[in-house]
Amino acid sequence: MFNEQQKQFFEQNGYVIAEQLFNSEEVEFYLDYYMKLRDHEKVRRDDRFPTATSSDPLVQYPRLMMMHRWDDTTLHWLLDPRINQCMTTLLDREPYAVQTMFYFKPPQARGQALHQDNYYLRVQPGTCIAAWMALDDCEIDNGCLQVVPGSHTWPTLCTIKADTTQSFTDVTVPVPDDYTATPVLMRAGDVLFFNGSLVHGSFPNQTTDRFRRSLIGHYIEGDSEKVARAYHPVLRMDGSTVEVASSEKGGLCGVWVTQDGQPVLEVSGYEVVEKATE
Ligand SMILES: O=C(O)CCC(=O)C(=O)O
């Protein structure tokens, strides 16, 4: 599914798109499926974000979390052979699956501030990897993702407060001016694979009439020894459970310092992660 050039792009930049990995009938199916699933009695809605007012569109359409634990359709998507093949090519071995999420991102919804997924999953050694499937075409206007190419080589950064007028999450990571976040434009059915240390986030949905829906799986490298407790049980790609230890709640994190006029990272901070959800 990925050729050598795409694999190299992933290694250098920390992300790569598998274009049209899912076809339009599948996209239609998943859109319809998750619009209905949001009313299911078992669904876990992430309505814990602290900064919402009652008119916030995300109150009506909060992201759904960990549906694969009780919903077979989501579990099958998480373990889909196409996703497995893409990731096995990128990682040189099968990953383990740990998380699913669905974002509705309705019109006028805030985006998500720049962050690194492994801040939350705390995979050790190594990192996590995401499969992010677009179910609507994604542009800046309706809140596409943005990534900082090459930032997957950075350590987990210490966080700072986010601008919650633009982001529904309240922490972000500092990115020096020398680095630029790039919008990731995608078509429905494309899947973006990205390294768990890659700094990424998403724009607000500025449209008045377009959703920006996505189905997301998080995986860990198959030789990982630990992942945060909230991500257990850990699954092999055949659906069986594998024993992996739980990582500690806190960890060292990187801060930017200036050396010879250049920003460099120094791992001298320590942070405790209470919310293990992203
Ligand atoms: O879909 C979005 O708006 C953001 C998703 C994201 O940042 C993530 O899955 O970690």
The ligand 1 atom at the shortest distance from the C-alpha of residue 132 is 9
For ligand 1, pick from 119, 139, 278 the residue to mutate: most ligand atoms within 8 Å of CB. Answer: 278
Tell me, in angstroms, the distance from the centre of ligand 1 to residue 79's CA.
20
C-alpha to C-alpha distances, 150 to 20, 52, 179, 207, nearest whole angstrom: 24, 33, 9, 30
The residues, any chain, with a CB within 8 Å of residue 76's CB and separated by 6 or more, are none
Alpha carbon of 182 to ligand 1 centroid (Å): 14
Number of domains in the chain: 1
DSSP string, 132-181: EEESS-B-TTTT-EEE-TTGGGSPPBPPEE--TTTBSSSEE----TTS--
CB-ligand 1 contact for 112 (6 Å cutoff): yes
Per-residue exposure over 155-164, b if at least 16 CB sit within 10 Å of its own CB, e if not: bbbbbeebeb
From the CA of 116, how far away is ligand 1's center (Å)? 10
pLDDT tens series, the chain, 278 aa: 899 999 999 999 999 999 999 999 999 999 999 999 998 988 888 866 666 677 889 989 999 999 999 999 999 999 999 999 999 999 999 999 999 999 999 999 999 999 999 999 999 999 999 999 999 999 999 999 999 999 999 999 999 999 999 999 999 999 999 999 999 999 999 999 999 999 999 999 999 999 999 999 999 988 899 999 999 999 999 999 999 999 998 889 999 999 999 999 999 899 988 765 55
Tell me if 85 sits within 8 A of 1, measured CB to CB. yes
265 Cα: distance to centroid of ligand 1 (angstroms): 24
270 in any annotated domain: no
Does residue 255 form part of some domain? no
Rounded-to-integer distance, Cα 209 and Cα 189, Å: 20
To test the pocket of ligand 1, the residue of 119, 141, 145 to mutate (highest count of ligand atoms within 8 Å of its CB) is 145
Q: Per the domain annotation, does 259 fall within a domain? A: no
- Residue 197 CB–ligand 1 contact under 6 Å: no
Residue 265 counted as domain residue: no
| CATH, residue 164 | 2.60.120.620
217 assigned to some structural domain: yes
Q: Is the CB of 200 under 6 A from ligand 1?
A: yes
* 267 domain-assigned: no
Does residue 212 lie in a domain region? yes
Q: In the structure encoding, which two tokens stand for residue 270, read together?
A: 């320590």
Give pTM, 2 decimals: 0.96
Does 260 map to a domain?
no
Residues 6+ apart with CB under 8 A from 123: 196, 220, 221, 224, 226, 227, 247
Structural domain harbouring 126: 4-248
Residue 68: which residues within 8 A CB-CB, separation 6 or more? 74, 75, 77, 78, 97, 100
Q: Ligand 1: distance of its center to the CA of 113 in Å?
A: 9
